Structure 1
Amino acid sequence: MTCHEFAHQIATTAPGYSDLLALGLKDASAARMIAEYQVHPRAAELQVQFPINDEINYLINTYDVSNLKIGMVEFMDVPVNHGNFLHFAIVELDLMLLSITGEVLVVDWQQFDHIMWRCAVDGEHFFEAMVIISQFLTLTMLDDANYNNEKLALSVADSAAKAAGSAAYLSFYQMLLGV
């Protein structure tokens, strides 16, 4: 999935405004939550250089992702280049990185050499997996019957891992879904 496809598809996973009001959110809170699903073209592209061409780098340079949140994954407005890693998001306190190999990883915020989760083979696959996760999180937000459905959550985590490139990424998506 390209960064442009991701920008469009992630927006389609947002809950509806009226659905959020029906859940008891106030106008401002509903609008803020919907904004977390939106990415907008930057007025001026960033020029963040990274040794590999990857859709994550294209996304960050082309779009403002500063409000984008998918579960515990919060994208950064401006990524930080650490040489062999491009830090583009956080997962709670930990760093989500694009590796020079193309793989997406989460490392401990205090110890870069401690890989907590492998997330995807590359940015394109990461985007595909995160759209699946976002769709499911919205579904569980709006439908109580699915909120505690562990079997469904495990199935979605499995689908996301496959979209990410292989079952080697399953533990990350299980963690995101709490299963």
Structure 2
Amino acid sequence: MTTDRQDFVSGYYIFSVFPRGDGVSAYAHFLNCCEKLGIPDVTEQLQQMMILDYLICNQDRHFGNFGAIRDAVTLEWMGFAPIFDSGTSLWFDQYATKINALADAPAKPFAATQQEQLALAKKSLQTLDLTALDGCKDDVLAIFEQAHFGEPNRAQVLADALAARCKFLKEDTLI
């Protein structure tokens, strides 16, 4: 949430400020734009967003639902915007019986699949305290059991799927 003194600047605007060179990936171009604009701490925050998107199987992180915050008066960059709009996640379009937690899924905006996009976040993945995810299955289950999904076992399936993705992240960082 921003205040009347803060502006949200979308990733699309940031990405479009400078021309993208031939052979430059969308990811590298976005980081280059942020650096030229002077937006602080983008790489780590962007990579953490991609890791979260992998964990929750977010399939719609387009350039309009992430970006940076700047002071509306001084135009000074304040940093990366908090994460929002993760509605196209948690296997939203699949019945519980069809959820395969470790199957690769579509991703945006820097790669076609979540595995490819996760590979871009290797640096942050190596430095995150992934033990903070221990016990997340129980927390997620407790929250989701209060929801009324329409499928009697969906809360359990989603908790199991999230736990499987957490386990994969932990194992992947050991490689």
User: Aligning the two structures, in what range does the TM-score lie when normalised by the shorter sequence?
Assistant: under 0.3
More strand by share: 1
TM-score by length of structure 2 reads: 0.28
Which is higher, the Rg of structure 1 or of structure 2?
A: 2
